[in-house]
Amino acid sequence: MPSSLEPPDDTTRAVLLAWIKTFPAVLNKVKSIEDLTDGLIFSDMLEDFDPAYAIKDISKTTSSTKWISAKQTLEAVYKNLLKYSHEHCDNWVKAAVVEYPIDFNALAQYSDPTESTKLITIFLLVALKGPNQLRYIDRVRTKLSHDMQSVIANHVATIEQDLSIALPDLDPHRIAKPYDALDLEEKYSAVSMEHAALKKRNADLITRLENLSESRDHLLDETKEQDRLIKQLQETVNHGGKSEYISRLEKRLEDSEQLIANQEQQLEDARVNRELKNKELVSIKHTRDLETQDRLKELEVENSALSKRANKVDHYEKKLAQQNAIEKENARLREQLDVLQENQKDYDKVHMENELLKTTRREYMKVLEGQENTITDLKNKDRTSS
């Protein structure tokens, strides 16, 4: 048995699962490879190969017979897949199917990843090498990333190598690469695009040739007309006269010369008029400059006078402020003087009263002293008489 699927790595399993999801009937029904063990997804994939090989009657399972029913479904799907490959695929696919026997007990009961990968690989080989390989190659190319496509290509290449070792008698020329048809389709598309581009270039060249032919015919007609006119003029000159055509040309020439002369005169008049206006503008500008300077001087004089007046006003205002301050100070001093005078009057009055009291006291003291002397004399007399 080839060793390419033992054991399957996580990357290969993930890519194979992504490839299964490219089938329209599958879409989001499967989340992991373990979801394939009931055989229903494989049945949908087989129906996508050819509805004639689909499993019509799928038994309903119960919890106790679930894995047995899954095994029966898987076996039925595998049987129809073998029938489809024998009827529609080449000997290489048939040999690959034989080299990858499936253990349905392990797959249905234990969800064995190796057996699941084997069965998926058989479906992959039948899809990529069967009668509808272009459809399935296009799905791989459009629905899977480049990294996933590389994993699938390497996986198939490994199987091819293992089969070439296990079956050396198998014709190697019958082993077609899964992307040969796609490469041919791309080459055909590139050739078709190149052919379309060449057709477009050819059409453009034909159009240009037609345009050049029309231009050539037009130039030939003009050349013939010029030759006819030259011949007519030559005949007229030879006969010594002027033709009506020459007269018209001379008249047009005179009109053109007159028009040119008029335009030159108009240009000269315009130039003179422009120079006069420029001179007037210069004169007006000079006059306005002088007026502006005079006005500026007048304004400067007025400004100086106003400045002097303003200085005088400021001086008078300062003097007035000083005078007001002096008057206020005088009023305050007068008030203080009045207060002092009132105080002085009170003081004089009190002083006079004080002096009067002093005089009264002195007089009282004199009287008191006289009385004391009288009393003393009386006491002395009493002592003497006793």
As a whole number of angstroms, the distance between CA 87 and CA 82 comes to 9
The structure tokens listed for 362 are: 């002195």
Contact assessment for residue 13 and residue 155, using Cβ atoms and an 8 Å cutoff? no
Tell me how far apart the alpha carbons of residues 86 and 161 are, in angstroms, rounded to a whole number: 22
- Enter the DSSP assignment of 61: P
Q: Note whether 189 and 56 are within 8 A (CB).
A: no
Q: What is the pLDDT of residue 177?
A: 46
Structure pTM? 0.44
Residue linked to tokens 């091819």: 160
CB 5 within 8 A of CB 117: yes
**All domains of the chain, ordered by start, with CATH?**
10-170 (1.10.418.10)
If we measure between CA atoms, which residue out of 63, 70, 69 comes closest to residue 39? Answer: 70
Q: What is the pLDDT along the chain (386 residues), one digit of tens a residue?
A: 444 545 567 888 889 888 988 888 776 777 887 778 888 888 888 888 888 888 876 665 554 567 888 888 888 988 988 888 888 888 878 777 777 788 888 888 888 888 888 888 889 988 888 888 888 888 889 888 898 988 888 888 888 887 777 666 655 434 344 444 445 555 556 666 777 777 777 777 778 777 777 777 777 788 888 778 777 767 665 665 555 666 777 788 888 888 888 888 888 888 888 888 888 888 888 888 888 888 888 888 888 888 888 888 888 888 888 888 888 888 888 888 888 888 888 888 888 888 888 898 888 888 888 888 898 888 888 788 76
pLDDT of residue 87: 87
61 backbone dihedrals φ, ψ, rounded to 5°: -105, 155
| pLDDT for position 198 | 75
Q: What is the pLDDT of residue 23?
A: 86
Residue 61 near residue 69 (C-beta atoms within 8 A):
yes
- CA dist., res. 112 & res. 106, Å (int): 6
Any idea what DSSP says for residue 60? P
